[in-house]
Amino acid sequence: MLGLNSRDLRLFILVAILCLAAPILLNPFPVDSAIGQSFNAGYPALMQRFVIFGLLVIGFNILFGLTGYLSFGHAAFLGVGSYAAVWMFKLLSYNVVPAIILSVIVAGLFSIVIGYIALRRSGIYFSILTLAFAQMMYSIAFSDLVGKFTGTIVTNGETGLQVYNDDPQILMGVGDSTVPHLFGAEMNASYIWKIGGWEFTFQNGYYLAALFMVAGFYLSIRIFRSPFGLMLRAVKSNQTRMSYTGINTKPYMLAAFVISGMYAGLAGGLLAAMDPLTGAERMFWTASGEIVVMAILGGVGTLIGPVLGAGIIKYLENIVSKINDGILHNWFAFMPDWLDNLLVTIIHPFIGKGWHLTLGLLFMAVVIFLPGGLVEGGQRLGRLFGRKKKPADSAADSATKPAE
Distances (CA, A) of 28 to 24, 35, 50, 51, 203: 7, 10, 17, 19, 18
The size of the chain, in residues, is: 404
Selection from 378, 305, 380, 304 nearest residue 13 by Cα: 304
- Helix, strand, or coil here: 42? coil
Q: How many CA atoms lie within 13 A of 123 on its CB side?
A: 4
CA distance 140 to 281: 12
pLDDT for position 400: 44
pLDDT for position 390: 59
pLDDT for position 389: 61
Distances (CA, A) of 204 to 26, 45, 160, 282: 17, 12, 25, 24
- The 8 Å CB, 24+ separation contacts for 138-141 are 138/76, 138/79, 138/280, 138/283, 138/284, 138/285, 141/79, 141/83, 141/279, 141/280, 141/283
Residue-wise DSSP of 308-354: HHHHHHHHHHHTGGG--HHHHHHHTTTS-HHHHHHHHHHHGGGSGGG
- The angle, 0 to 180 degrees and rounded to 10, between the axes of the packed helices 355-369 and 373-400 is 50
Distances (CA, A) of 313 to 13, 50, 353, 370, 371: 23, 9, 14, 17, 17
Q: What are phi and psi of 212, to 5 degrees?
A: -65, -35
pLDDT for position 118: 95
- Helix, strand, or coil here: 135? helix
CA distance 357 to 353: 9
The helix (H) or strand (E) run that includes residue 365 is helix 355-369
Selection from 280, 229, 278 nearest residue 252 by Cα: 229
pLDDT for position 34: 78
Distances (CA, A) of 392 to 352, 380, 387, 388, 399: 46, 19, 9, 7, 11
- The angle, 0 to 180 degrees and rounded to 10, between the axes of the packed helices 305-318 and 44-67 is 140
Burial class (CB in 10 A: 0-12, 13-18, 19+), 20: middle
For the chain, the structural domain boundaries read 6-284
Count other Cβ atoms within 10 Å, centred on residue 375. 20
CA distance 35 to 29: 7
CA distance 15 to 19: 6
Contact by Cβ (8 Å): 201, 189: no
Contact by Cβ (8 Å): 38, 299: no
- 10-residue mean pLDDT profile of the chain (404 residues): values are 87 94 93 85 92 96 94 95 96 95 97 95 93 95 88 88 90 86 92 91 95 96 95 90 88 96 97 92 92 94 92 91 88 89 92 90 91 89 75 48 45
The helix (H) or strand (E) run that includes residue 200 is strand 198-203
